[in-house]
Structure 1
């Protein structure tokens, strides 16, 4: 999984059965062996859980990191074996049953998961960490050779040799994944990026931050086409040769990579009768409407204290890990409402952007540092409340902002605008 794509939310009422005060568990099944699923299993064992743990993943590889797939792995800086969270011996030593199979049915009445192979996996508690899949292009020509999304290790392995030989690359989507890939591809190829939005990463970051990333990519040689959709992909002998924009312009391409968002993997949950709204809907303890089933990570829509309590689905590695630890703690007898500060990151060339908080609906910004040096931060406020920090090559501001967002007192726009204001120093002075 990558660092982050986007967050989204809905605002329904949510009712679940009461959280069980005590849970006597002898078996936990986890569907999804990505970051969230792996972390639940590891945290349960670390916390002393002695029962059976079944970790079910539909890929043949050991559970692995996804963020490097569009960056370091593509450049060959990280070897395949280094992507794994742990070696195979870890699962054996920790007595975690790693099952390479696809879950096709949840039998809630008998508390069991049916796998594609016909195997049945029983559980006292089930954790759904099914993640998300790439939103398809749904365009004429999407099945041409040379057209790729980046989501899995298989995707990255297929794309990596193409990057080395491509000369004309078109990236569809100016989000984090698309721009991470563009920063790599432009080192060897002509790169053009198409996006329906008005600017880079428009749904995720402030205009101030977006402008700097656009300018830097352009300095590297990337060409942007904003406010433009794609009409079709053009090919010859089964291989992509171009991309036709909605305005009729055709961009030459021997490689097309798209990153236009993801869709939560809800099918198995929906068929089992779990509540679905922008993902699998859970309460503040990450429980579904079945008290024996939790949902976490990219697929879970939860009441987010950092988004005014609105039901929110967050696609990020830190969120997946934090939710996994929270569920493991609950299953081990230490429940508490989930309230971790969301945070995200993206590496694009020599730009490292770290975000803490959710800037949804922000109306005021304060910029710290120097845009010219590419070392600056944007503080985002909504109705006078500090809601997020975007830190470009300023990790200290990211860490300080995350701490401020996790506890009172609140930082105000007036304080942030004061001459000589330093975010790290303010956080230090206002610690409890």
Structure 2
């Protein structure tokens, strides 16, 4: 009798799971549940190309409708899963009760909300779905909207700030940490991005919290400094939290995410978790448990669970990589730089074409590249192979990178 797989979530992790299962020869039924009623789409472009109009709706879809039909992948869109009973291998959804042989949590993450008093008829804007992006674009593009307040100096907040600033809006960014993107970047790169935002007229308020939001005819934000900022629209991007409630309620072990082993299997046999919701052992974090919010992680973990379900278990061992695009700065990140004790800068910093190489205990652990895609690809190969280049050669720009 053929086995069946239920996947909860239709983001990168969920759709890649279905694709990889078929590529691995899985012949059983595959059903994907998604709370989002829109046809499955990529989320990273929502704050980049989709927001600025360079990418249209059809260009950010994962697959065509024909692909799902041809590969016998059933989509249940706009369908909420209320409960999972792992003792009975059962999923309770809006349309009924479904049984599974294998279950995949690809539930992603949800926006962290402002824990402050908010008064007014409207709410600040958040970005997570295509509907959010459509609404955000209309809201920001209105002629009577000139002053934009962005709360949060991470990837999403800054990508939205860059779009608004390039559109001629007056933008203020308020960030609680003393630096932009502090969680993932060293001071040098934080300062490089800060300088670019300032060049476009963005008012950066660093090390500052928002204590209250009030809306009358306009928004007024009360800051921890005692100052206020007035705005026509407020956008919030202060990070995300793993969507783990379903798993937690099912008795599956969770902490900062749904805990999994090196095969992305949870504390319950035959139940997997992948992507933004999964807390996993990562060899590029010294084997420590981490939760990564990236396309790479979602896609590669999906391939791991497909192999395991098809009887060919393969442990997860892929270099993490990420990217952000702000103005003319395309930052590509390979590896995890936390805990570095040495860095080397290579390239033209003033010309916005350079890379930063991070070392820990004389081992290359990460590389951040701005407008240097070849450096990024080389870095991924080196880190995957645990290769460390010659530091003296690396410090000499006249020596080609692949000769270091």
TM over 0.5: yes
Q: How far did residue 413 of structure 1 move?
A: 4.0
Question: Following TM superposition, by how much is the alpha carbon of 1:255 offset from its aligned partner in structure 2, in angstroms?
Answer: 0.8
Does 1:312 pair with 2:255? no
C-alpha deviation, 1:412, in angstroms: 5.3
1:246 matched residue in structure 2: 224
Partner of 1:355: 333
**Cα deviation code 1:103-145 (max 9, x no counterpart):** 111111221111133x112111101000000000122117652
Q: In structure 2, what is the equivalent of residue 430 of structure 1?
A: none
Q: 2: CA distance between counterparts of 1:150 and 1:408?
A: 37
Asked whether the 8 Å contact 2:3–2:28 carries over to 1, the reply is: yes
Q: 1:299 aligns with which of 265, 273, 277?
A: 277
Q: 2:161 maps to which residue?
A: 182
Query: Are 1:256 and 2:234 an aligned pair?
Result: yes
1:419 is displaced (CA, Å) by 6.4
In the alignment, structure 1 residue 122 sits paired with structure 2 residue 102 = no
Residue 78 of structure 1 aligns with which residue? 55
CA distances 1:283-302 after superposition (whole Å, capped 9, x unpaired): 01111011110100000001
How many residues align? The count is 400
Off by >6 Å, runs of 4+ in structure 1:
none
TM-score, normalised to structure 2, is 0.96
Please provide the CA RMSD for this pair.
Answer: 1.5
Q: Could you tell me which residue of structure 2 aligns to residue 220 of structure 1?
A: 200
- CA drift at 1:87: 2.3
Among 368, 382, 397, the alignment partner of 2:375 is 397
Return 5+ residue gaps in structure 2 as ranges. Answer: none
The higher-RCO structure (CA 8 Å, 6+ apart) is 1
1:87 matched to 2:64: yes
| 2:181 maps to 1:201 | yes
How far residue 417 of structure 1 moved from its aligned partner, in angstroms, is 3.0
Distance (Å, rounded) in 1 between the aligned partners of 2:184 and 2:41: 26
- 1:342 paired residue number: 320
1:273 aligns with 2:251: yes
Residues 40-55 of structure 1 mapped to structure 2, 5 A cutoff: 40-55=17-32
Per the normalisation by structure 1, the TM-score is 0.89
Classify 1:142/1:207 alpha carbon distance in 2 versus 1 (closer, same or farther; 3 Å).
Answer: farther
- Aligned with 2:149 (options 134, 157, 170): 170
Aligned equivalents of 1:324, 1:85: Cα separation in 2:
14
| Equivalent pair of 1:397/1:424 in contact (CA under 8 Å) | no
In the alignment, structure 1 segments of 5+ residues that lack a partner are 1-23, 427-432
C-alpha offsets along residues 168-200 of structure 1, whole Å, 9 cap, x if unaligned? 001111111111111100122100101011111
